[in-house]
Amino acid sequence: MSRPFARSLSQLARPLSQKPRQLLRRRHRDFSTSTPRHLMGMTGFTETQVTVREAVAAVCSRFPNTYWQEHDQSEQDPTEFHAALAKDGWLGIALPEELGGAGLGISEATIMMQTITESGAGMAGAQSIHANVYATQPLARFGTQEQLHRTIPNIISGQWRACFGVTEPNAGLDTLRLSTAAKVQPDGSYRITGQKIWITCAQVARKMILLARTTPRDEVRKPSEGLSLFCIDLDRTQPGLDMRRIKKMGGRAVDANEVWFDNYAVPADTLVGAEGEGFKIILHGMNAERCLLAGEALGLGYAALGKAAEYARGRVVFQRPIGQNQAVAHPLADAYMQLEAAKLATYHAARLYDASRSDATVQQDAVGVAANSAKYLAAEAAFTACERAVLAHGGMGYAVEFDVERYFRECLVPRIAPVSREMILNYISEKVLKLPRSY
């Protein structure tokens, strides 16, 4: 093993638990010298990123497709999967070393999330840890030392889980019109009243990163002002908190919820950053989330395409494998190229995000354009791959045991969330092409 490679492994492994440290340092001995068959080419990725991919894949290999089929059908939280990743330190991949994290970037976190979906876990596996990775980014950057040391280590260890509370039923994508209010009390604490929707993992989360209005909209100069960010406890024993699970099409192993606050009390020290600066703060998490979603979409697309190619090689009709027919082969080949193009956009966006944290010449506008573009392209490529995977299987594409029906149900998530494809097109039209705003 070359010295630079050994050094990169040591740097990656140092903040993690003893188990991944040993795993990473024994990389050449423990991992097969014949690379597992992955459709995505890894040329151009760093050795650290390749190591993350292989190490996370090793954890995921303990959770076969049957595990995810069963949890999807029973709508049971993948607690064991979350615990396995937490045990090996992966929930802290993009969090500071001094708080127990790995101190790596969103680039490495994106490849981790892609590896999870690509393993067969799909969007359910990704969503079980998704908010723990991206929703903590604003907290890690703007939180007080007391907040960080009280919260981040517990999230990294898996003792606490986190969720992200932004979307509201009457505001949707118009975040600046959200109405959940946090009213300051004489003792400095806050009382929260309002409703959030599509809150993933709220049933199992201990913490919520919450965006709420601390100054009424008609009392601020700009709609982006008067919003504040909080890191609150979801204490189900206290009055003023209620939630209801939403039955949904895909990703059923992970809960999605409506959450109601009715004069719910939270301490003063739950405020993250300055009051009224919440929208600016939360943008750091939103761009990170778009990168992660793009990676998750890629993994789902590659997983579906791999299944389709395997089936097309083995399924014989009219005395020949169906993959010999161009009507089957060409759509799959086209889907592969779309995924590869989206891969380039995704990891370009993640690199820009990471660079912007230390390089003042990388503007946040450029990061936003890249992250939104990547999320759009990866979601569309994943949809194409998943749809064609079902069609390549014919009737068996409808069967649970072949997994592609589950991937197809889940591939709609990246197209819709956390921002719709139409709003991304609006964003690019306005910010890049300088066309008149349409909404």
User: So which residues are the catalytic ones?
Assistant: 289
Tell me the angle at which helices 79-87 and 47-60 cross, rounded to the nearest 10 degrees: 140
Return the amino acid letter for 205: A
**What distance in Å separates the CA atoms of residue 397 and residue 403, rounded to the nearest whole number?**
8
**What distance in Å separates the CA atoms of residue 63 and residue 59, rounded to the nearest whole number?**
8
**What distance in Å separates the CA atoms of residue 331 and residue 388, rounded to the nearest whole number?**
7
The secondary element (H helix, E strand) that includes residue 184 is strand 181-184
258: tokens are 């409506």
* CA separation, residue 223 to residues 213, 218, 227 (Å): 10, 8, 9
| Residues paired with 272 in a beta bridge | 229
The secondary element (H helix, E strand) that includes residue 279 is helix 278-314
∠ CA 255-158-233, rounded to 5°? 65
Spatial contact of 164 and 234, defined as CB atoms under 8 Å apart: no
410: tokens are 């889940």
**What distance in Å separates the CA atoms of residue 301 and residue 381, rounded to the nearest whole number?**
7
- The span from the first CA to the last CA of the chain, in angstroms, equals 56
**What distance in Å separates the CA atoms of residue 264 and residue 243, rounded to the nearest whole number?**
13
Choose among 161, 5, 158: nearest CA to 90: 158
* CA separation, residue 245 to residues 81, 168, 250, 252, 259 (Å): 21, 15, 14, 11, 9
Q: Is the dihedral of CA 386, 94, 132, 169 positive or negative?
A: negative
Spatial contact of 106 and 350, defined as CB atoms under 8 Å apart: yes
